[in-house]
Amino acid sequence: MIAIPAIDLREGACVQLVGGSYDAERVRVNDPLDALKKWRALGFKTFHVVDLDAALGKGANPDAIARLLGHEPGLTFTVGGGVRDTAKIETVLATGASFVVVGTRAIEDTPWLSEMAHRFPGRIVVAADVKGREVVTRGWTAGSARDVADVLTALNPLDLGGLLVTAVHKEGQMGGVDLPLMQEVVRGTRHRVYASGGVTTLEDLRALADAGAYGAVIGMALYTGKLDAAAVAREFA
């Protein structure tokens, strides 16, 4: 399993939010490139970039994304946030992303997602943001009335780059992961699983690795120093 630092963009800065709430910003790095350089220096090679403003329709951060993706060749980036049409997928890939993360429209419009998976095979990662058991959309502000197990079944036939499963109820709280959820997801899908939400300790990462997760996205615990980034990089980068 690989550990993946999160670089969440808001108003041109790299931030960390508690529970995804814009009113609960806990960390801010004014230049996102500084965050990337810090994690690179420790040995991380894969990064998860999210345009929070685009996800919530509050603007966009294309310049920051371009600077991150153009900084150093050979790195792997998954990029998401407000990706809801074909043109945006093409733009993100052209900017240098290895994978494009699609959330809201992927969950709400399965025929479109099927078309995108066919057009960009192995390059689309579907974000299944889970609150309790319900998959939520629109920057975690809207319910889909769909159980995560049903969503997994619907996605299994598609040629995807993976599933990014975020336990929203754990996000940013540094209280540990929802291990039963992630175990169920790994059992219920043939796709790579990227786990997110609540990663706080090396034991969390080891448990996710044992569960069969392909990757774990880490945010708050790295940025606050709760989790020893150097130790994480040694074992999981």
Is 210 known to be catalytic?
no
Please name which of 9, 84, 13, 5 lies closest in space to residue 41, comparing C-alpha atoms. Answer: 5
Which residue is catalytic, options 8, 51, 178, 204?
A: 8
> Please, what sign has the CA dihedral across residues 162, 47, 201, 178?
negative
Which residue is catalytic, options 51, 129, 178, 204?
A: 129
Please name which of 210, 183, 215 lies closest in space to residue 5, comparing C-alpha atoms. Answer: 215
> In this structure, what DSSP letter does residue 197 have?
S
Q: CB within 8 A of 68, min separation 6: which ones?
A: 7, 32, 33, 36, 47, 49, 77
Is 129 known to be catalytic?
yes
CA dihedral defined by 96, 209, 170, 157, rounded to 10 degrees?
A: 60
Q: Are 172 and 219 in contact (CB under 8 A)?
A: yes
Q: Which residues are catalytic?
A: 8, 129
